[in-house]
Amino acid sequence: MASPRLVTLTLAIEPVDPLTIFHGAGARDRRYWERPAEDFALTGIGTAWPAPGDTAASVKGLKPLLRDLFQSSLAVGPEGPMGAPVLMGAFPFDPERNDPSRFGFTVPAMAVRARHGNSELILSALVSGRDDLDAFPRLAEESAQLLSGSGSELGSLSPPWLIRDAGEFTHWRLMIDSALAEIESGRLRKVVLARRQQLAFEKSPPAAAIIARLRDGYPDTSVFAVAEGTRCFLGASPERLVKVSGGHLFVDCLAGSVPRGHSPSEDARLASELLVDEKNRREHMAVVEFIEASLRPLCSDLTVDSQPSVRAVPNIHHLITRMEGSLRDDDAGVLDVAAALSPTSAMAGIPRAAALDFIREYEGFDRGLYAGGVGWMDLTGDGDIAVGIRSALIEGTRANLYAGCGIVQGSESGDEWAETEWKLMPLRSALGLA
């Protein structure tokens, strides 16, 4: 019997909001990605091809599998990258941890893509022989049913309650003190530490309603969701890990932050102070140096902003340095860059190995997909992957919210705790916690 090949059929359809398709799919495996400010949205339902075994958790392990898949695939429909099969999913912050919440990258059996007022339906199946082509009429029928209900409501949220941990701040303070001691000794230059906040609901909250709030409130972010059954990892990330288009890459270096002001004058003052703040500049430049050093071997040319600027999202000012470049190798793509960068120093620390060891020992929980990568890619190597921050993992009637901050010389536990509170705000608000 011949080896199965991936066959993809792309069709133009009437304009539709992919989020309503995500919602209508119920408990099926589903993915969602949107860049509201760029007028681009994509949802995937079901699975035509899963990354097998542990490769779902390893961005490096995906590359040879996708090469084989691409060489044997057949795409029917529009030519070029926008007509190619699409993979969607996420990879964890630390693939060495035994993390039960890995969702992995898959080729959805059905995907709906919306861009600049146009929509496409993408149907995919693994085909070994003529009989397997029967999958397409079935997929077309299921798609028609989902599309017919695309105007339905996205569900409603009941207010959650916060599960308080009386010892959380004490643990945080001791962890920060230990980190500062490691920095003072020279074993660490920077380490990024996170905390987890838990909410409870009377009934499982509808993911689509949360996503709708995030995209309305934070349009200049990457809004995402990766869901299987009643488990869903979702968020609105201000940080792009990497975008690759036609061999050209775009990377954001995001580190250093302050809250937004309560008035225009205060907001402008806080942004100006952030640009010259010694502690935030130190944290930011450590990330820039790491990412630039990681990208140089992959690029034939790389342009780096000469100075950081301020990136403002509704509740936080961030320091950002942007990088653009051309990939050196013709067969390199978004996976190669993601593998070189992950986990970034913005999410782990410097030196990376020592920072990861510290995080594993002191944080007290497995980050899972938080601070990993989430997004989409196609078989040509193009794609867009965000860092999985400003995020939450919903499991039935519980939600785990995550936030972290970079610890460097001069950090203080109270200030860093306050920073995590600002960063928790988008998800707390989207989940209905006043």
The pLDDT tens digits for 82-112 are 456 789 999 889 877 755 445 688 899 999 9
- Give the helix ranges, DSSP H, for 128-190: 135-148, 168-185
Helix H or strand E segment including 352: helix 352-362
Does residue 22 surpass a pLDDT of 80? yes
- Asked if 13 and 120 count as a contact pair (C-beta separation under 8 A), the reply is yes
Q: Rounded to an integer, what distance in angstroms lies between the CA atom of residue 403 and that of residue 215?
A: 19
Other residues' Cβ atoms within 10 Å of the Cβ of residue 374:
30
Residue 292: pLDDT above 80? yes
d(CA 25, CA 196): 29
**What integer pLDDT is reported at residue 150 of this predicted model?**
67
Q: What is the DSSP letter of 55?
A: G
Determine the pLDDT at residue 154. 81
Annotated catalytic residue, options 63, 190, 243, 423: 190
CATH number of the domain at 161-209+230-430, out of 2.60.120.380, 3.40.50.300, 3.60.120.10, 3.20.20.370?
3.60.120.10
List beta partners, residue 12.
120
The confidence score (pLDDT) of residue 81 equals 46
Residue among 367, 322, 376 at smallest CA distance from 343: 367
Measured in whole angstroms, the distance separating CA 132 from the mean position of its chain's CA atoms is 34
Quote the mean pLDDT of the chain: 88
pLDDT for 164 beyond 90: no
Mean pLDDT computed over 126-133:
73
Show the tokens assigned to 235.
Answer: 């968020």
pLDDT score of 109: 93
Phi, psi of 270 (to 5 degrees): -65, -40
Type of residue at 316: I
> Is 239 noted as a catalytic residue in this protein?
yes
Q: Return the bridge partners of 107, or none.
A: 49
Listed in sequence order, the residues at least 6 apart from 16 whose beta carbon sits closer than 8 Å to its beta carbon are 112, 114, 119, 147, 150
Taking Cα atoms as reference points, which of 237, 189, 234, 242 lies closest to residue 406? 189
- Rounded CA separation 372/366 (Å): 12
| Two tokens, residue 20 | 């309503």
349, pLDDT greater than 80: yes
* CATH 3.60.120.10 boundaries in the chain: 161-209+230-430
Among 34-48, 140-154, 161-175, 304-318, the least confident range: 140-154
Tell me what the mean pLDDT of segment 124-128 comes to. 85
pLDDT at residue 167 greater than cutoff 50: yes
- Give me the catalytic one of 34, 182, 239, 283: 239
Between 271 and 54, where is the model more confident? 271
423 is catalytic: no
Cβ-based neighbour number of residue 292 at 10 Å = 17
Q: What percent of the chain has pLDDT over 90?
A: 64
Q: What is the pLDDT of residue 179?
A: 96
pLDDT band for position 135 (cuts 50, 70, 90): confident
* pLDDT, position 86: 86
314: preceding bond cis by omega (within 30 degrees)? no
Q: What is the pLDDT, as a whole number, of residue 140?
A: 84
- The predicted model gives 312-321 an average pLDDT of 93
pLDDT for the residue 130: 67
pLDDT surpasses 90 at 18: yes
pLDDT of residue 27: 79
Q: State residue 99's pLDDT score.
A: 55
The pLDDT score that the predictor gives to residue 78 is: 65
**Cβ-based burial of 142 (10 A; exposed 0-12, middle 13-18, buried ≥19):** middle
Residue-wise pLDDT for 59-77, tens only, equals 667 777 777 777 778 777 7
398 closest CA partner among 173, 135, 202:
202
pLDDT, residue 102, reads 58
Q: What is the pLDDT of residue 55?
A: 46
CA 120/CA 113 separation, integer angstroms: 5
**Counting beta carbons within 10 angstroms of the beta carbon of residue 405, is it exposed (0 to 12), middle (13 to 18) or buried (19 or more)?**
buried
Look at residue 236 and give its three-state secondary structure: strand
pLDDT in tens, 395-417: 999 999 999 999 988 899 999 99
Higher-confidence residue: 276 or 128?
276
- Residues sharing a CB contact under 8 Å with residue 216, sequence separation 6 or more, in sequence order: none
| pLDDT reading at 177 higher than 90 | yes
Is the pLDDT score of 248 beyond 50? yes
